[in-house]
Amino acid sequence: MKKENDNGKPRHRYGMVIDLDKCTGCGTCMIACAAENNVSVRPDQSDKERAITWMRLYKITNGKEFPDTEVSYFPRPCMHCDHHPPCVSVCVATATKLDFNTGIVSQIYTRCIGCRYCQAACPYGARYFNWWDAYFPKDKGLDRYLSPEVSPRMRGVVEKCTFCHHRLMRAKEQAYAEGRREIEEHEYQTACTEACPVQAITFGDLNNPDHKVSKLVKHPFTFRLLERLGTEPKVYYYSSRDWVRKLGDNFLPGEYKPVLHKTWMQEEWSTKPGRDTY
Amino acid sequence: MDSALLPHGVKRCSPWAFFFWTLPWLGLLAWGGLSAFLCLWKGLNQTNMSNVFAFALWIVFDLAVIALGAGAFFTGFLTYIINKKELRNIINTAVIIGFICYSGAMAMLGIDIGQPIRGWFIFWHANIHSMLVEVSFCITCYLMVLAIEFLPIILENRKLEEIKELRLFGHNLHEIMAVFAATGTFLSFFHQGSLGGMFGVMYARPFAAREGFYIWPWTFFLFVLSAIACGPLFTILCTKLAELLTRKKLVPDSAIQALAKISAWLLSFYIVLKIFDYLGWIYGVVPRAGLTFESFFREGPYGVWMVVCEIIFCGILPAVILITPQGRKNQGWLILAALLTCIGIVLNRFLFIIVTLAIPVMPFERFWSYLPTWQEWGVGLAVVGYGFLVFSLAYRYLPVFPKEKELNPAPES
């Protein structure tokens, strides 16, 4: 993909790095995401096959017996694939699109016909279909928390994480009002990034060398989910633990090469403060 | 009661017997109607489809009936373009079955999409890169072609034929049928292929993903080939079922044998290519994704046995039976081989739809299972009921089988 847009300006490529060593699996990112984006709920949210969770938390273990058991959590938003997103080319009604200037994979709810081909094509399970009418129980006061910036979705359409696109719009409007053409890193942050109590999520422009994410993605401990399929996700994960990194993709026996770097191992990069400055 | 409507010189059961025969099929239609109403009114939560099984029973039915209905375009191509005259005795059957399959599939798709009222967005906001767009365009156009091909058969009804204008219109349509046969062949070739392409292009789903030629994954060509191999065999099966139920010979053996022979060669060619496709996939696409063939079948009810059944019992075996003259001339073997081929094609579509979605791609994702609800069965089986009903009505009131009278001379009184 071209690095510049038609005006010769560098295009933005928003992405995030999720530090799995920091993530405690508290689920705040899921809640913040749902509240921010008017995600409809069900009376029974335990129906995981049909509940809508733009940001979904997976629990993984190293598969070893006690006392060697280790647990990690995988927060999984939409990966906003950068190369030929599997969902975009298959959509019949052009209801989903990879925005060239932001790298965000958008979803036009009012154009989606609900054929669900995009869901079938997405290997991350990041797309959700509205099996029911939108439901925000009044007796729980949920209707009063609805955000006016995000349209609730109707029954029969597919929805997904948008990297809180409305926040980008808000930041751009603010910048425009102040006579600026570009927005600062802190002006556009997703709801999950802001809500994470341990700051495990870092969000920003991968094309901007001044943004923290663009530095973090170069760390040898960062990896992407199902990278070898060639979808080029813009969501990166960070873990100092080999077994976690290994679970990020499928490997044939003997294929996985552990990240061994003496300096980092000796200096215990995974626990030392300041490691993010790599 | 309805004797004035029956074709000349053929025997049909009494109207009451016919009425009772249609009851089970009307029952299936009523079940399907109720299910469809519930799905449209309350939404697709009436099904057991989920975010994992975004495609389910209906899509399997759709792809299966579209493959089985391919007899219409391919027999039309052989009859009108290649000019195989003996097939004129079976072309009507093929067209009616094709019409039933395609119209049934279209109706089912209308319920399957979450926003049926927005169905026209496929044409208005078409994404030309999507295989499903090509499928939708071609199926819609081809259904119109099938309706045009069906029309002259309807106009041959005894009462309708008495109206001069309709008779002339029907006759003229017959004259230009080659044009529609050619159009139908073109449209069908592409949508059968695109149905396969739909799955082959899902490059992030290693179970379905395939390499290919230019923009077309190998599944594109394999779906075309499998459809033209099994479509005529399904036409033969339906003819044999009609012969069994009516206790009459309806189609001369020459037509059946000609069709079976062509299908046999196509099926053999398909199976050879399909084996190469499997090998290329097992040693190419799958290891590149970090997986092995066995890793797909570690969980759940789907096993390697499905692939074995598809290739050996429902592929090589019927191909061997049909390719040998003794095999296809024997009534029992012919029916068995046709049945196995049709099962094999349905199994192939099932693998591409259900098994693809059931197998998790992320290493830490779990395996989910799926069983259809009665509403899903209702809509699916309604197509079967609709098929029986339309075919029965066509057989009763239209001269579907041109040689019926000749093959079943009235007993001298």
* Among B158, B217, B159, B148, residue whose Cα is nearest residue B187: B148
Nearest-Cα distance to chain A for B201, in Å, is 8
For range B55-75, the mean pLDDT: 94
- Cβ neighbors of B122 (< 8 A, separation 6 or more) are A92, A93, A113, B132, B133, B136, B137
Position A278 confidence tier, pLDDT thresholds 50, 70, 90? very low
Looking at the predicted structure, is the pLDDT value of residue A274 above 50? no
% of chain B residues with pLDDT over 70? 99
Position B159 confidence tier, pLDDT thresholds 50, 70, 90? confident
Cβ proximity of A137 and A114 under 8 Å: no
Token output for A52: 């809508």
Looking at the predicted structure, is the pLDDT value of residue A275 above 50? no
Q: Which range of residues forms the domain containing residue B124?
A: 49-370
Measured CA to CA, the distance from residue B199 to residue A127 in angstroms comes to: 18
Asked, as a colleague might, if the bond just before B206 is cis with ω within 30 of 0, I would say no
- Cβ neighbors of B397 (< 8 A, separation 6 or more) are B2, B5, B6, B7, B157
Cβ proximity of B87 and B252 under 8 Å: no
Whether residue B93 is contained in a domain is answered as: yes
Cβ atoms within 10 Å, residue B24: 12
Return the CATH number of A14-277, one of 3.30.70.20, 3.60.110.10, 3.30.70.920, 3.40.50.300: 3.30.70.20
Whether residue B20 is contained in a domain is answered as: no
Q: What is the pTM of this model?
A: 0.92
Measured CA to CA, the distance from residue A130 to residue B114 in angstroms comes to: 8
For range A122-133, the mean pLDDT: 96
Number of helical H runs and strand E runs in chain B: 19, 2
Q: Tell me whether residues B114 and A60 touch, CB distance under 8 A.
A: no
Mutate to test the interface with B, among A48, A133, A242, A250 (most CBs of B within 10 A): A250
Q: Residue A14's beta-bridge partner residues? A: A205
Give residue-wise pLDDT tens across range B230-253.
Answer: 999 999 999 999 999 999 999 999
Query: What is the chain B residue with the closest CA to A225?
Result: B362
For range B313-333, the mean pLDDT: 95
% of chain A residues with pLDDT over 90? 78
Whether residue B64 is contained in a domain is answered as: yes
Position A9 confidence tier, pLDDT thresholds 50, 70, 90? low
Pairs of CB atoms within 8 A across A/B? 161
Nearest-Cα distance to chain B for A62, in Å, is 11
**Cα B261 to chain center, whole Å?**
19
- Cβ neighbors of B255 (< 8 A, separation 6 or more) are B86, B87, B88, B89, B90
Cα angle A225, A231, A233 (rounded to 5 degrees) comes to: 50
B217 three-state secondary structure: strand
Give residue-wise pLDDT tens across range A97-122.
Answer: 999 899 999 999 999 999 999 999 99
- Chain B hits for A89, Cβ within 8 Å: 127, 129-130, 201
- Chain A hits for B287, Cβ within 8 Å: 252
User: Could you please report the per-residue DSSP string of chain A?
Assistant: --SB-TTSPBPP-EEEEEETTT-----HHHHHHHHHTT----S-TT-TTTS--SSEEEEEE--PPTTS--EEEEEE-----SSS-HHHHH-TTS-EEE-TTT--EEE-TTT-----HHHHH-TT--EEE--S-----GGGTGGGG--TTSPPPPTT-EEE--SSHHHHHHHHHHHHHTT-SS--GGGS--HHHHH-TT--EEEEETT-TTSHHHHHTTSTTEEETTGGGT---SEEEE-S-HHHHHTTS---TTT------HHHHHHTTTTSTTGGG-
* Among B222, B226, B235, B237, residue whose Cα is nearest residue B276: B222
- Output the pLDDT for position A10: 55
For range B24-47, the mean pLDDT: 97
- Output the pLDDT for position A204: 96
- Output the pLDDT for position A136: 92
Instruction: Determine whether A240 is exposed, middle or buried from the number of CB atoms within 10 Å of its CB (0-12, 13-18, 19+).
Output: buried
- Looking up tokens 């074995």, which residue turns up? B308
Q: Which of B44, B125, B201 lies at the smallest CB-CB distance from A90?
A: B201
Whether residue B406 is contained in a domain is answered as: no
Measured CA to CA, the distance from residue B126 to residue A70 in angstroms comes to: 48
- The residues spanned by each domain of chain A are 14-277
Mean pLDDT of chain B: 93
Rounded to 5 degrees, φ, ψ at A71 are -125, 145
Looking at the predicted structure, is the pLDDT value of residue B299 above 90? no
Cβ proximity of B368 and B50 under 8 Å: yes
- Output the pLDDT for position A257: 84
Give residue-wise pLDDT tens across range A215-269.
Answer: 999 998 999 999 999 999 999 999 999 999 999 999 999 899 887 654 544 444 4
Cα Rg of chain B (Å, integer): 22
- Output the pLDDT for position B102: 95
% of chain A residues with pLDDT over 70? 90
Give residue-wise pLDDT tens across range A51-101.
Answer: 999 999 999 999 899 999 999 999 999 999 998 899 999 999 999 999 989
Q: What is the CATH number of the domain that holds B221?
A: 1.20.1630.10
Cβ proximity of A106 and A165 under 8 Å: yes
Q: Which of B52, B198, B361 lies at the smallest CB-CB distance from A226?
A: B361
Q: Tell me whether residues A60 and B129 touch, CB distance under 8 A.
A: no
Q: Residue A73's beta-bridge partner residues? A: A59
Mutate to test the interface with A, among B47, B48, B115 (most CBs of A within 10 A): B115
Measured CA to CA, the distance from residue A33 to residue A193 in angstroms comes to: 9
Rounded to 5 degrees, φ, ψ at A105 are -90, 115
- Cβ neighbors of A122 (< 8 A, separation 6 or more) are A86, A87, B204
User: Could you please report the per-residue DSSP string of A179-196?
Assistant: T-SS--GGGS--HHHHH-
Position B212 confidence tier, pLDDT thresholds 50, 70, 90? very high
Cβ proximity of B186 and B32 under 8 Å: no
0.90 surpassed by complex ipTM: yes
- Looking up tokens 């409809």, which residue turns up? A40
Residue B396 or B175, more confident: B396
Count of the separate structural domains present in chain B: 1
- Output the pLDDT for position B170: 86
- Output the pLDDT for position B404: 87
For range B286-302, the mean pLDDT: 90
For range B327-334, the mean pLDDT: 94
DSSP state of B163: S
For range B304-325, the mean pLDDT: 95
- Looking up tokens 């000019």, which residue turns up? B83
Give residue-wise pLDDT tens across range B222-233.
Answer: 999 999 999 999
Which helix (H) or strand (E) is B212 found in, with range? strand B212-213
Rounded to 5 degrees, φ, ψ at A10 are -65, 135
Give residue-wise pLDDT tens across range B371-393.
Answer: 999 999 999 999 999 999 999 99
Looking at the predicted structure, is the pLDDT value of residue B208 above 70? yes
- Output the pLDDT for position A260: 66
